[in-house]
Amino acid sequence: MRGRYDNLTRTRALDPERDYLDIYQTMLRHEFPWDMKLGLNLAFNRSFSVPAIATVHAATGELTERTQKRIDDTGLLMYEMVLNGFEQPRGRDALRRVNQIHRPYDISNDDFRYVLGCLVVIPTRWLQAYGWRPPCCHERHATYLFYRELGRRMGITDIPASYDEFETWFDAHDAAHLQPNDDAAAIERATRMLMLARLPRMLAPLGDALVSALYDAPLRRATRVDTPAWPVRAGLHLALKTRSLSQRWFGAPRATALFADGIRARSYPDGYEISQLGPRHDRRDGGVAGTGVTEPAGRDRRSREPAPE
């Protein structure tokens, strides 16, 4: 466990107002790579489960008919912005593509703000529950500032003024609007198949129950997912807590940053062009957001600028 807290010490010496991108990159690429990826997946799952948002997704067919590609495209765009920020060319290109995808649709500010809130709150809560350590105040603030800036550049207004205020707004909106709906259930079934395919073979018999156990009760209700038996829920909780303690006491900082060799997605084995990510044709069949993030591997076929450290 030598150096286990070195990144935290470095983070605490930074100014989140100025260095929020550096701090957020460290969280994703060094401190909590697995947990952040899973947290972002759960955030996107929740975002498409609100009826108004699920209706837009269902109408496009992107998540039910081209599920893998839609997930990959969303993950690539998100990670390009995190790795490169909003000022470097690849980050700017990814943000431009995100705005192009959303432009044809009449999406309310509240719906955009809810998706942003999912990205801020859901991964943070996962880290608080199952990270090898809870995120510090600098990390929570940096997470908020990164997504506040993303929201500002997407034209989202009335973003709450702090992490705590955003969390309060998110909980109230979530309680009022996350209701059972058939569109969310259909999308969840499609994306669940991809999650099940990633489970180790020995866990396949429990796959459906384990995926359901990752959801909280309101999300299960909204997507019409049955509550798994309590031994499954308790077993998953115990396994995650055991992993957390094991990493805390016996783990070491990640030696190589996540995405050090670039990002590769299943849909693009030979690389990808940012301008081609997203829905087909003239981009009239896009959606509100995506449903997850991609696996790191390989290198983009284009020359990649180094991510800011």
Q: pLDDT tens-digit profile of 49-102?
A: 999 999 998 998 889 999 999 999 999 999 999 999 999 999 999 999 999 999
Report the alpha-carbon distance of residue 309 to residue 304 in Å, rounded: 15
Burial of 65: CB neighbours in 10 Å, binned 0-12, 13-18, 19+: exposed
Confidence of residue 21 (pLDDT cuts 50, 70, 90): very high
Residue 6 CB neighbours (<10 A): 12
Closest CA to 123 of 293, 266, 307: 293
Give the pair of three-digit tokens for residue 273.
């062009």
Give the pair of three-digit tokens for residue 121.
């709150």
Q: Is the pLDDT of residue 295 over 70?
A: no
Residues near 109 by beta carbon (within 8 Å), at least 6 away in sequence: 156, 157, 158
Host domain of residue 172: 10-276
Tally of domains in the chain: 1
Q: Is the pLDDT of residue 309 over 50?
A: no
pLDDT at 287: 39
Residue 60 lies in a domain: yes
Residue 3 lies in a domain: no
Give the pair of three-digit tokens for residue 2.
């030598």
Residue type, 67: T
Name the strand (E) or helix (H) holding 71: helix 67-84
Residue 190 lies in a domain: yes
Confidence of residue 205 (pLDDT cuts 50, 70, 90): confident
Look at residue 1 and give its three-state secondary structure: coil
Residue 5 lies in a domain: no
Give the pair of three-digit tokens for residue 20.
């929020």
Share of the chain above pLDDT 70, in %: 90
Residues in the chain: 309
Residue 108 lies in a domain: yes
Report the alpha-carbon distance of residue 82 to residue 29 in Å, rounded: 10
Q: Is the pLDDT of residue 191 over 70?
A: yes
Instruction: Output the CA–CA distances (angstroms, integers) from residue 164 to 97, 133, 147, in the order listed.
Output: 30, 19, 14
Q: Is the pLDDT of residue 198 over 90?
A: no
Q: What is the pLDDT of residues 107-153, one digit of tens each?
A: 999 999 999 999 999 999 999 999 999 999 999 999 999 999 999 99
Residue 290 lies in a domain: no
Residue 154 lies in a domain: yes
Burial of 176: CB neighbours in 10 Å, binned 0-12, 13-18, 19+: exposed
- CB 40 within 8 Å of CB 291: no
What pTM did the predictor assign?
Answer: 0.89
Residue 285 lies in a domain: no
